[in-house]
A = this chain, B = another copy of it.
């Protein structure tokens, strides 16, 4: 294992301390339990909270700020945050109009956010949950019952965050977030596995010419292993299930998000973006908005995922709305 880190036990605190110091103008990092809040919290808006295991940075902590999350709760590496941390973050995010939890569909996350929601309701804080399950690769896997939540969580948080920021109520924020969940799909590929600090060796082995198609963001197995084909062919395997699952076709406009898994440089992500875009355009789909970068990573995994979100004028306007977070800013 070669990583820029201190002892494995200090990995999460070190990441969060560094993150908090680097972005002190935008966020505040709280310890014991760990959670992150935005500096310029607007009062009187619906609070938006998300969280999940560490190792997917900038997700979720990097999306805290104006126009996106009010708080994020990082757990240990690839492990759900505890209910008490979710409760503390949600209390901080509540401005009196309730809180929306954006939860990626993993058994541990679902359970802990559910427990936290019950505790919060007991305190009189209204909580609604939006479950993100955008991964078309598999219906069940190591960490999940049902589809996994992966990079599609980024447009969910961005668009729900913009809705909350403009003053939408609890039901309206949930409704727009669920519209995104219904229209967003993702498919990923790994070239090499991630290494969890405590484990010290890659989570799985791939041969030199081999890739895992449909991989999850914790290195969960995908649909199949196959040869490392040229990027244009490989992106075809990623785009095809998105076209089918969303029944995308003529006149559809999408956001195309090409996401790196952490160990893949931006140059390669642009090659993937080019290939994915051509496959979409060949199917008559118009790419109206784009995002390319390492947004939902899996530690140092080499690979990428392709996400499409079918847009309508409102979703497009909310995607375009100003955002000011450590990782997304416009």
Residues of A in contact with B (beta carbons under 8 Å apart): 2-7, 11, 14-19, 21-23, 54-55, 57-58, 62, 189, 191-192, 208, 211, 228, 230-232, 234, 258, 262-275, 277, 287, 290-292, 294, 297, 299-300, 302-304, 329-330
- Are A208 and B264 in contact, CB atoms less than 8 angstroms apart? no
Q: How far is the CB of A8 from chain B (nearest CB, A)?
A: 11
**For the complex, what is the distance from the CA of A300 to the CA of B268, rounded to whole Å?**
9
Of the listed residues A58, A231, A274, A292, the one surrounded by the most CB atoms of chain B closer than 10 A to its CB is A274
Q: Give chain B nearest CB distance to A25 CB in angstroms.
A: 9
Q: Known contacts A2-B302, A7-B230; is A22 also within 8 Å of B270 by CB?
A: yes
A18 adjacent to B292 (CB under 8 Å)? yes
Which of the residues B55, B189, B234, B303 comes within 8 Å of A267, measured between beta carbons? B55
A292: chain B residues within 8 A (beta carbon): 18, 22
Given contacts A228-B2, A262-B265, contact A15 B300 (CB under 8 A): no
Contact partner of A294 (CB less than 8 A), chosen from B7, B19, B266, B299, is B266
Tell me, rounded to whole Å, the shortest Cβ–Cβ distance linking A309 to chain B.
15
Would you give the shortest CB distance from A288 to chain B, in whole angstroms?
11
Q: Which of B5, B264, B266, B291 contacts A231 (CB 8 A)?
A: B5
